[in-house]
């Protein structure tokens, strides 16, 4: 009898769940660009490629909510990235060489007057914060997004809280390391806060990500923005200290599916990489259909690749023009220039500079 009651109850729950899922939304972005780049190899040859979007990566996902009463909702979101030119799944790593089904986001949670609590794979607090305070909303090519490699983009096994109260927007998250006998190995945590008053916005963020041996990669930052008619001005700062080697390895990446190892002689635990990044940018809605963006990033780096006093600099300028053909379809063109010096020369495959240009089309569904 008890077993029958459980089966009936489960059946009722499933039926109710199926009914509630009638409000589930399928959504996504398909974005492709044709990109040209100079000094793209150790022999300083040029490259042409069909690749993902300049500022948005192609993705698809499912999201939904169910009203529970008293302004409380159950929510979920599942989102995966992909390359339309090959159909391959994104979010490739050494642990996931074939990519993840829902590598961008995968969480369930509750949302109400108190804010939102989410459990699962999520964006880090650093990525969430700078997504609102970067003129490009964080680019998608390495050449226009490298400052934000310090944010780690996403993390697994995360419990997060976010809330908006008038002009105040706050967030905090904790990622379980899930290593027996250790609370630091593979652990993540971060917090952010920002405040908007009329045309002004200002805020800051701090986070830490630990690797499997317990070493940590820290990042912090602050930024502001100001709107004047159709224009918006941005200014920001990102700082970092990395004893894991992940930032060097990511920026030394020049192709393939794995990260470059730290060169021989480097000791990132003893000589952590230290970044000091500043940027300034502008967005301008020239017409209802045409949006223009320009941004300059600069970085002073200490102890590149774990070598004491191996210091260097990196500078980047980006221009982007986007034209809306409709509410869901845009075409765009972009140009970027990168230059490195000193220890950061390993971030370029050949000469100490690269110039890139691309045209693309983005469709949102």
DSSP sequence for 203-230: EEEEEEEE-TTS-EEEEEEEEEEEEETT
Task: From residue 70, give the alpha-carbon distance in Å to each of 112, 177, 242, 263.
Answer: 8, 35, 45, 57
**Whether the Cβ atoms of residue 339 and residue 171 lie closer than 8 Å to each other:** no
Q: Is the pLDDT of residue 68 over 90?
A: yes
Q: Is the pLDDT of residue 14 over 80?
A: no
Task: Give the pLDDT band (50/70/90) at residue 1.
Answer: very low
Q: Is the pLDDT of residue 259 over 60?
A: no
Helix (H, G, I), strand (E, B) or coil at 102: coil
Helix (H, G, I), strand (E, B) or coil at 163: strand
**Whether the Cβ atoms of residue 241 and residue 273 lie closer than 8 Å to each other:** yes
The pLDDT, as a whole number, for residue 254 is 56
Domains of the chain: 25-364 (2.40.160.10)
Residue from 151, 147, 149, 297 nearest 235 by CA: 297
The pLDDT, as a whole number, for residue 91 is 79
Q: Is the pLDDT of residue 231 over 90?
A: yes
| Per-residue pLDDT tens over the stretch 20-41 | 445 999 999 999 999 999 999 9
pLDDT mean across residues, the chain: 91
Q: Is the pLDDT of residue 19 over 70?
A: no
User: To 5 degrees, how large is the angle CA 42–CA 358–CA 338?
Assistant: 45
| Per-residue pLDDT tens over the stretch 274-288 | 999 999 999 999 999
- How much of the chain exceeds pLDDT 90, in percent? 84
Q: For residue 116, what is the DSSP state? A: E
Average pLDDT over residues 180-198: 93
**Whether the Cβ atoms of residue 32 and residue 58 lie closer than 8 Å to each other:** yes
Residue from 70, 166, 77 nearest 118 by CA: 77
Q: What's the number of CA atoms in the CB half-sphere (13 Å) around residue 44?
A: 4
The pLDDT, as a whole number, for residue 253 is 63
How far apart are the C-alpha atoms of 186 and 342, rounded to whole Å?
32
| Per-residue pLDDT tens over the stretch 106-120 | 999 999 999 999 999
**Whether the Cβ atoms of residue 238 and residue 130 lie closer than 8 Å to each other:** yes
Task: Give the pLDDT band (50/70/90) at residue 182.
Answer: confident
Q: For residue 257, what is the DSSP state? A: S
**Whether the Cβ atoms of residue 254 and residue 279 lie closer than 8 Å to each other:** no
- Strands 59-69, 47-52: pairing kind: unpaired
- How much of the chain exceeds pLDDT 70, in percent? 90
**Whether the Cβ atoms of residue 119 and residue 107 lie closer than 8 Å to each other:** yes
């Amino acid at each position: 009898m008890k077993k029958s009651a459980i089966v009936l109850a489960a059946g009722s729950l499933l039926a109710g769940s199926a009914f509630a899922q009638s409000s589930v939304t399928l959504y996504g972005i398909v974005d492709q660009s044709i990109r040209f780049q100079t000094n793209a190899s150790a022999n300083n040859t040029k490259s042409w490629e069909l690749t993902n979007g300049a500022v948005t990566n192609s993705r698809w996902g499912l999201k939904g909510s169910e009203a529970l009463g008293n302004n409380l909702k159950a929510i979920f979101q599942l989102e995966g990235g992909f390359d339309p030119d090959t159909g391959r799944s994104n979010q490739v790593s050494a642990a996931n060489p074939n990519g993840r089904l829902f590598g961008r986001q995968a969480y369930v949670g509750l949302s109400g007057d108190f804010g939102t609590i989410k459990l699962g794979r999520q964006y880090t607090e650093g990525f969430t914060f700078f997504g609102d305070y970067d003129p490009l909303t964080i680019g998608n090519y390495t050449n226009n997004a490298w400052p934000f490699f310090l944010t780690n983009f996403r993390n697994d096994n995360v419990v997060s809280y976010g809330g908006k109260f008038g002009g105040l927007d706050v967030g905090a998250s904790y990622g379980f390391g899930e290593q027996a006998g250790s609370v630091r190995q593979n652990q993540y945590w971060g917090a952010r806060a920002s405040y908007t008053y009329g045309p002004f916005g200002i805020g800051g963020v701090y986070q830490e990500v630990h690797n499997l041996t317990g070493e940590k990669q820290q990042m912090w930052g602050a930024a502001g923005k100001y709107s004047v008619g159709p224009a918006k001005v941005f200014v920001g700062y990102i700082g970092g200290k990395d004893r894991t080697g992940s930032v060097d390895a990511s920026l030394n990446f020049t192709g393939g599916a794995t990260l470059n190892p730290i060169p021989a002689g480097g000791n990132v635990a003893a000589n952590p990489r230290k970044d000091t990044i500043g940027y300034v940018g502008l967005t301008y809605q020239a017409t209802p259909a045409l949006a223009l963006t320009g941004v300059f990033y600069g970085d002073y780096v200490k102890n590149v690749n774990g070598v004491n006093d191996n210091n260097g600099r990196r500078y980047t300028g980006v221009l982007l023009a986007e034209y809306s053909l409709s509410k869901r379809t845009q075409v765009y063109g972009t140009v970027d220039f990168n230059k490195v010096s000193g220890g950061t020369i390993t971030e370029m495959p050949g000469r100490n500079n690269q110039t890139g240009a691309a045209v693309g089309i983005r469709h949102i569904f």
